Amino acid sequence: MNNHVRSSLFVAALLVSTTVVNAQTITLVSGNGSIGTRDPNTIFSIDNGATFTNAFIITPNVLYGSLPGANWIGVQADAAGPANSTNLYHTSFTLPLGFTSPSFSISILADDQAVVFLNGNFIGAQSLPGGHPNGTNPPSIFSTTNPALFLTGQNIIEVRCYNQPGGVTNPTGIDFVATVVPEPTVFVLTGSGLAGLFLTYRRRRKA
């Protein structure tokens, strides 16, 4: 194999590896499992965050919509919850050191109203409905690309789901699909640095 072929293969390998790293997407969905079990990735609190436990994967109300790849989750196995109260749901994702230009988007259905936060920062809120409109398709979509809202390491998505008055308990829950796209500059810079070293090596060989 001559030097020109070796050079071409080396540069191609760098470009391919960098492209693969930059294309990564983190996807989070509600209801990771089967109906009647607990969601291992989403926890809830009915006491304003004093205690948390894994959410129930529930059979949705017949009037609800659904999101591909996700299931409805709630605070009780029977898909009900305390009336006139706000339930907190938390899930999380991790970003590597050196990420840049992150984006976050969540599609969500809720009974009755969902308010979304990222690391304690407000992202979006559904209007307070009458009936079940927030639980029917199309879902509400909220997003941000503000890098100040993202953290190296663990990031917390919080959904505050308000359940309107109606008896002691009544149907409530959420269904969501969230995506996070970080650009890990640490890998891009590593690839660029290797390419630079390679070009320097070639110049020295020619000198």
pLDDT tens-digit readout, 144-181: 999 999 999 999 999 999 999 988 889 999 999 999 99
pTM for the structure as a whole = 0.78
Q: How many CB atoms lie within 10 A of CB 195?
A: 15
pLDDT band at residue 129 using 50, 70 and 90 as cut-offs: confident
pLDDT band at residue 4 using 50, 70 and 90 as cut-offs: low
pLDDT for the residue 191: 39
Beta strand ranges found along 83-139 (DSSP E): 85-95, 99-111, 113-118, 121-125
Burial of 205 (0-12, 13-18, 19+ CB in 10 A): exposed
Can you list the domains of the chain with their CATH numbers?
22-206 (2.60.120.260)
Percent of the chain having pLDDT more than 90? 71
pLDDT band at residue 183 using 50, 70 and 90 as cut-offs: confident
Q: Is 87 in contact with 163 (CB distance < 8 Å)?
A: yes
> How many angstroms separate the CA atoms of 61 and 66, rounded?
10
Instruction: List CB contacts of 199: < 8 A, sequence separation 6 or more.
Output: none
pLDDT tens-digit map of 6-57: 554 444 444 444 334 444 899 999 999 999 999 999 999 999 999 999 999 9
More confident residue, 161 or 63: 161
